[in-house]
Structure 1
Amino acid sequence: MELICFSDAHTAWKYWNLIEFEQRFEILSCCAEQLKAQDKQLAAMMQFHLEAARPLTSVCQELHGPTGETNELYMSGRGVSVLFLSSVDSALAAGIALLSSALITGNSVVISSNDNTFVSILKPVMTSINIPEKLIQFVSEEAGMTMLSSDIRSVGFVGNESDEKQLNRALAQRHGAIVGLVSETDMENLPVAHDPYLSLRFATERTRTINITAIGGNASLLEVGHSPH
């Protein structure tokens, strides 16, 4: 079951990550607009992180090419994210913050929670907008822990410090790529949920190089400084 869930999420991620930022922004903004009917504060939280991500992750920067090539630095989604959400009222806002940041940067999300309130609010909204199938999935906490053995690329957590430590230990024991943990344990102040740079914790930098010069560029430039001229 968990392997099928991960496979579906990974397929959805590959498609979603190729979509231009502005298209993702438009789709998720529609989600935030529909969320207003359920909870205006949650909708405002989602829109805040969508707006905050634009200057951080939507711009492609051109880098100087020393041998004549074109280099572009851009942000990309990491892959499949698993979001663990505890049954706390204030956890809803933090959960929306993590979810929005993960989605806008190009990740697919598996929400692992036994909190029916969060699922009942979010699921109808997400299924009513034009998002790729299986981009967002809902599983139990037990199923979410089992998914840690899959090739997930980021983990979000909202809950108490004790559960956070257990999750961190589980991540440390897994094999494969190092997975970053983004956690919110301060249910009163929600510092992570209000962080305007939160989207960067779900994104990774990539470089695209385009070489249109003959024989790999102007190789004589690499020689400068290494021999007398």
Structure 2
Amino acid sequence: MTTNIQTMVDSSLSTWENWNGLGYSERTAILTQWASQLEANAKSMVEFQCRNALEHVGETLLMPGPTGETNELYSAGRGAFVVTADIDATITAIVGQITAVLVTGNTLFICLPTGSALSGKALVSQLEKAGCPHGVVVAVDCDQLADLASHTAIAGVAYAGQLSTSQALARQLAARDGLLAQLVTETDCELLPVIGSPTYILRFVTERTRTINITAVGGNATLLELGSGEH
């Protein structure tokens, strides 16, 4: 593992905490501003993913608990993801991946081949102009994909393209040490049955519980926060 890859991952995870803490409303506002620069189908895809995020994971749920204790269940991003696609993947497919990763509170590395329908560097520029903080989205060269996907701190890979490449990525992620990583694949870049699913965004979140004990001596509140899928 090169020092450069380690530095990039460390930087992304450092940025992730603040981005994840913004909340769905602020992230949606930024992504909606970005969508205004996109073609009609891609813009609709951004709006679709943001609506689904608000409906499925944007709400904090109050759970039952003993008197004097408040328990909340909510969703958060998993960490840093890699978004990649074959050269023939559609703009709508790529935009759908990016939106789902970002709106749910993750940071991402964009890895797109030369000649792709979109440029990674151009996407970073668009998103930052729309209000996305620097470092949340980073464009990387395709020759860095294998090292990034193999890094144990990467939460997962979102890929659109051929089944054979998807299988190769699955084998690579399965060979990693440590926690299992998510592989979210779309092999039909025209009909988009996976990316176009209302529950697609669930692939990019983890559940957290927050307990506030207000019965402590002197009335001080004690906060306990637990999460699943944490790195």
8 Å Cα contact 2:60-2:74 kept in structure 1: yes
Q: Could you tell me how far 1:124 is from its partner in structure 2? A: 3.6
Superimposed CA distance per residue, residues 82-106 of structure 1 (whole angstroms, 9 cap, x where no aligned partner): 112110142x211111110110010
Match of 1:98 in 2: 97
Q: Structure 2 CA distance, aligned partners of 1:206 and 1:161? A: 33
Q: What RMSD in Å do the two structures reach over aligned CA positions?
A: 1.6
SS in 2 for 1:118: coil
Is 1:71 matched with 2:74?
no
Q: Structure 2 CA distance, aligned partners of 1:50 and 1:68? A: 35
Match of 1:168 in 2: 170
Query: Structure 1: any 5+ residue segments left out of the alignment?
Result: 216-229
Q: Structure 1 CA distance, aligned partners of 2:63 and 2:118? A: 43
Match of 2:135 in 1: 134
Q: Could you tell me how far 1:122 is from its partner in structure 2? A: 2.5
Q: Structure 1 CA distance, aligned partners of 2:26 and 2:70? A: 25
Q: Tell me: higher relative CO, structure 1 or 2? Use CA pairs within 8 A at least 6 residues apart.
A: 1
Is 1:194 matched with 2:193?
no
Q: Structure 2 CA distance, aligned partners of 1:127 and 1:61? A: 32
Q: Structure 2 CA distance, aligned partners of 1:179 and 1:123? A: 24
Q: Structure 1 CA distance, aligned partners of 2:27 and 2:187? A: 29
Q: Could you tell me how far 1:48 is from its partner in structure 2? A: 1.1
Q: Structure 2 CA distance, aligned partners of 1:83 and 1:89? A: 12
Q: Could you tell me how far 1:115 is from its partner in structure 2? A: 3.6
Alignment equivalent of 1:3, drawn from 6, 9, 17: 6
Counterparts in 2 of 1:23-38, with a 5 A limit?
23-35=26-38
Query: Structure 2: any 5+ residue segments left out of the alignment?
Result: 218-231
- How many corresponding residue pairs? 211
Moved more, 9-18 or 114-123: 114-123
Q: Structure 1 CA distance, aligned partners of 2:46 and 2:125? A: 16
Match of 1:81 in 2: 81
Q: Could you tell me how far 1:131 is from its partner in structure 2? A: 1.3
8 Å Cα contact 1:86-1:115 kept in structure 2: no
8 Å Cα contact 1:85-1:111 kept in structure 2: no
Superimposed CA distance per residue, residues 57-113 of structure 1 (whole angstroms, 9 cap, x where no aligned partner): 1100000103641100000000001112110142x2111111101100100010112
Which amino acid is 2:18 matched to? Y
Structure having the higher Rg = 1
SS in 2 for 1:204: strand
Q: Structure 2 CA distance, aligned partners of 1:198 and 1:65? A: 31
